[in-house]
Amino acid sequence: MFKKTSLIFMFSAGLFSINAQQTIPFRITKHNNIIVKTLVNKQDSLDLMFQIAMEDASISPDRKRRADHLIFDKNEISEKNTVQIGKFALNNVRFFNNELTGHEADGKIGTGMFAGKTFKIDYDNNRFEIYDKQPDLKGYQGMMLLNENGQFFINADNIIDGNLQQEAYFLLQSGYSGALLYSNDFAEEKNLDKMLKVTSEKTMKNSSGESIVTKQGILPFFKLNNSVLKDVPAGFFVGKRKTQAVNYFGADMMRRFIWIFDADRKTVYIKPSKYFSEDYYKIK
């Protein structure tokens, strides 16, 4: 699944024309999503959710604000747009139409705005920091970052039963408000329905009328490098109809760390944030 890829970013390098460190402010919603205020094509003021699992941008059919100056082709793609975030201007931004997004957002914006640069997600100070050179890494732990078509995977240990550690890869998914969401394969192989303490269950119907059952359990321990979190909420699907192909490391887990991604996206450095020991987000 994981291989080295050559990425082509659609965002202008003009954002990084100054050698000094750059910052972009954001706010965190009560659902753990990161929101940045943008001006698209110098006309449309949109609140976009930062989605670390994508490179480009999109707008939602449920947006609260108008996006009249995005022109989409027959494939629902809009090319060569500008996005202004504070004093920073991005050019040649590609938008996709009608993609669902998080609460309080009109759409999404991805990691393309950091193309070729080291960047930090600083949850303590509600801002992104962008570097031309590697910043001070004192107090941080380095981890291998697996990059698959612009999506980032990290490796962690899941302690399900006693001291037995089950290794797994997780997709960083800042659009998922919860903590962990396991893939169908992992949930079945590790028999999570019986091994975890289940706290809730929800049944939904898809467009074909088929039932999709999700459960929330409690993972006793989760180990990411030298950091250990206890009693972590973990979702998974049960029944005949399942929809989850990969494990998610959600926004609730991401906010518990400060992240520095190196420029070539092969290594990520983490340290606990002020939210590390906060109560977990409850999926409703």
- Identify the pLDDT of residue 18: 35
Task: Report the pLDDT value the prediction gives residue 89, as an integer from 0 to 100.
Answer: 84
How far apart CA 144 and CA 149 sit, in angstroms, is 16
Q: Which helix (H) or strand (E) holds 176?
A: none
**CA within 13 Å, CB half, 14:** 14
Q: Domain containing 235: what range?
A: 142-253
| Same domain flag for 27 and 106 | yes
Judge whether 43 lies within some domain. yes
- One domain for residues 119 and 229: no
Tokens of 141: 């732990």
Say whether both 172 and 203 belong to one domain.
yes
Let me know whether 156 and 121 are in one domain: no
Task: State phi, psi for 275 to the nearest 5 degrees.
Answer: -95, 5
d(CA 172, CA 249): 5
Q: Mark whether 90 and 21 lie in a shared domain.
A: yes
pLDDT in the model for residue 16: 34
Specify whether the backbone of 265 is left (phi greater than 0), alpha (psi in -120 to 50) or beta. Answer: left
Q: Are strands 127-131 and 22-25 parallel, antiparallel or unpaired?
A: antiparallel
The answer to whether position 150 is within a domain reads: yes
State the sign of the Cα–Cα–Cα–Cα dihedral 27, 28, 29, 30: negative
Q: Out of 74, 97, 131, pick the residue that ends a domain.
A: 131
Q: What is the pLDDT of residue 212?
A: 82
Do 19 and 127 sit in the same domain of this protein? yes
The residues near 53 (Cβ < 8 Å, ≥ 6 apart) are 110, 151, 152, 171, 172, 173, 174, 175
Say whether both 175 and 214 belong to one domain. Answer: yes
Residues 170 and 211 in one domain: yes
Instruction: Tell me the pairing of strands 180-181 and 248-250.
Output: antiparallel
Pair 112, 203 in one domain: no
Closest listed residue to residue 161, CA positions, set 227, 217, 242: 217
User: What are the b/e assignments for 109-131, b being 16+ CB within 10 Å?
Assistant: bbbbbbbebbbbbbbeeeebbbb
Q: How far apart are the first and last CA of the chain?
A: 32
CATH number for the domain including 28? Answer: 2.40.70.10
Domain membership flag for residue 93: yes
Length of the chain in terms of residues written: 284
Looking at the structure, tell me whether residues 114 and 27 fall in a common domain: yes
pLDDT at 207: 55
Number of domains the chain contains: 2
DSSP state of 244: -
Q: Helix, strand, coil: what percent of the chain each, to 5? A: 10, 45, 45
Q: 107-109 and 44-50: which strand pairing?
A: parallel
Query: Does 230 map to a domain?
Result: yes
pLDDT of residue 205: 65
Residue 147 lies in a domain: yes
> Both tokens of residue 224?
């990411």
Q: pTM for this one?
A: 0.89
* Domain-embedded: residue 5: no
Long-range Cβ pairs for the range 69-76 (8 Å, 24+):
69/40, 69/41, 69/42, 69/43, 69/44, 70/40, 70/41, 70/44, 70/95, 70/97, 72/97
Whether 175 is covered by a domain: the verdict is: yes
Report if residue 265 sits inside a domain: no
Is residue 181 helix, strand or coil?
strand
**47 and 104 assigned to the same domain:** yes
| 123, 19: one domain | yes
pLDDT one digit per residue (tens) for the chain, 284 residues: 443 333 333 333 333 333 447 899 999 999 999 999 999 999 999 999 999 999 999 999 999 999 999 999 999 999 999 999 987 888 999 999 999 999 999 999 999 999 999 999 999 999 999 998 889 999 999 999 999 999 999 999 999 987 678 999 999 999 999 999 999 999 999 999 999 999 999 887 655 667 788 999 999 999 999 999 999 999 999 877 677 899 999 999 999 999 999 999 999 999 999 999 999 998 87
